[in-house]
Structure 1
Amino acid sequence: MSSGEPATVFHMEDGNKSSYATAPPPAYAAGTSSAAQAPRKIAGDGVPLLLRSGAAGFRRCLSLIDFVLRVAAFGPTLAAAISTGTADERLSVFTNFFQFHARFDDFPAFTFFMVANAVAAGYLVLSLPFSAVGILRASAAGVRLFLLVCDMLVTLLLTGGGAAAAAILYVAHWGNIRANWVPICMQFHGFCQRTSGAVVASFLAVLVFLVLILMGAAAIRHRR
């Protein structure tokens, strides 16, 4: 008897009479198992949407982080440029006619530092549309390469400006005994506080740019 035919069941009754009834067929056809009837698990469940498409999703994910970091780095660079450009303090000695003046443009290093941060802030705004293209088009390798080169140049500019300003601030805070340079921050507290905070903010932006460079290189290299 094949497994697909209905089974016959015999019932014993009084009087040695027998009758038969046909049992209902099984719920599933022969050769199929209950495991086959279970719903199949969709491939990729539990994986973020940006990562389901392999290398393309990986590049989109990096581009999204890249966009967020550029927005985050805009604040420190703009704050550093504004804080340095408004650093101005006058110190009166004896009378108001005899004053010492400390202003950012009295130091060429601070002028260079302010310009570097202003250029970096402007570049970050202009680079946002290019970063958005990387999110929409995962295969835009040319745009990523362009941003990578520009990020490296701006990072060098910010690092040079921050290093020059930090050197001037070190002398302003501690002086130099051998050169008979006295520390001016003992008198010009406000000037030193503003410029010191600007240097810290600028170096935070440099760290963000370093992360952007690493992510850009990883996105270009990860093509498969």
Structure 2
Amino acid sequence: MSTRVDIPAEKSAVAKVTAPLIGASAHGKGGYKKGLAIFDFVLRLGAITAALAATATMGTSGQTLPFFTQFFQFEAGYDDLPTFQFFVIAMAIVSGYLVLSLPFSIVAIIRPQAIGPRLLLIILDTVALTLNTAAAAAATAIVYLAHNGNASANWLGICQQFGDFCQSVSGAVVASFIAAVMLMFLIVISALALRKH
């Protein structure tokens, strides 16, 4: 009695050909996710730069105009308006979060198949995007009023007198919207990395 089993040559050849393909696709998926993780890290550095620039520019904005004598002056600063104060605090929180998220982004590069860090990043990035967008939108409304005023309410624009101040706050608002766009891309990248296929 023999226990030998004959395998036809065609089936063994198919098995040899399909085995490397399965391994290659698994390796390719890891490479794809690692590429996304590296792009996430680079984009996160860009978002940190934009958020910090927005915070610093708004926080240092201010201008003083002399009126008749140096003892009687008009002054405009970010701390004169609660909306700009909220902007500085919110963008500082977003900047701090983005700096603290860098280690998780590095973990995603080292272990591209790990789901935990990616899930945490996508949730916290969404919260940061919400805060960033709220601060940018509120500051945009005030910057618009500073430039154009409101004829219905008899509010005059102040940017004719406080040109440097208006230029600083406008630049801060633009930088905050750049950070918001980068956060949107970070959320999309995290969502793509969490896909199974």
Settle same-fold status: TM greater than 0.5: yes
Q: TM-score, normalised by structure 1?
A: 0.75
Consecutive unaligned residues in structure 1, runs of 5 or more? 1-42, 45-50
Greater share of helix? 2
What is the DSSP-based 3-state SS (H/G/I as helix, E as strand, rest coil) of the residue aligned with 1:53?
A: helix
Across the aligned residues of Structure 1 and Structure 2, the Cα RMSD in angstroms comes to 1.5
Aligned to 2:172, the other structure's residue is in SS state helix
Question: What are the Cα deviations for residues 186-219 of structure 1, in whole angstroms up to 9, with x where unaligned?
Answer: 1001110100000001100101000000110111
Aligned equivalent of 2:170: 196
Match of 2:127 in 1: 153
Matched, 1:124 2:124: no
State how far apart, in whole Å, the 2-side matches of 1:111 and 1:161 are. 10
- How far off its partner does 1:55 sit? 2.1
Alignment match, 1:181: 155
Indicate the residue corresponding to 1:215 in structure 2.
189
Query: Which of 139, 152, 156 lines up with 2:113 in the alignment?
Result: 139
- 1:21-100 matched pairs, under 5 angstroms: 53-100=27-74
Q: Larger radius of gyration, structure 1 or 2?
A: 1
**Equivalent of residue 84 in structure 2, options 100, 110, 114:** 110
Distance 2:106 2:71 in 1: 56
In structure 1, C-alpha distance between the alignment counterparts of 2:82 and 2:134, rounded to whole Å: 13
Identity of paired residues, percent? 49
- TM-score for both structures, normalised by structure 2: 0.85
Q: Within 2, Cα distance between the matches of 1:165 and 1:185? A: 15
1:29 is matched with which residue? none
- Cα deviation, 1:122-143, whole Å, max 9, x if unaligned, reads 1111111100111111221011
Q: What is the rounded CA distance, in whole Å, between the counterparts of 2:26 and 2:178 in structure 1?
A: 33
Higher relative contact order (CA 8 A, sep 6+): 2
Aligned residues: 175
Runs of 4+ deviating beyond 2 Å: none
- The 2-side partners of 1:52 and 1:93 are apart by 72
1:52 is displaced (CA, Å) by: 7.5
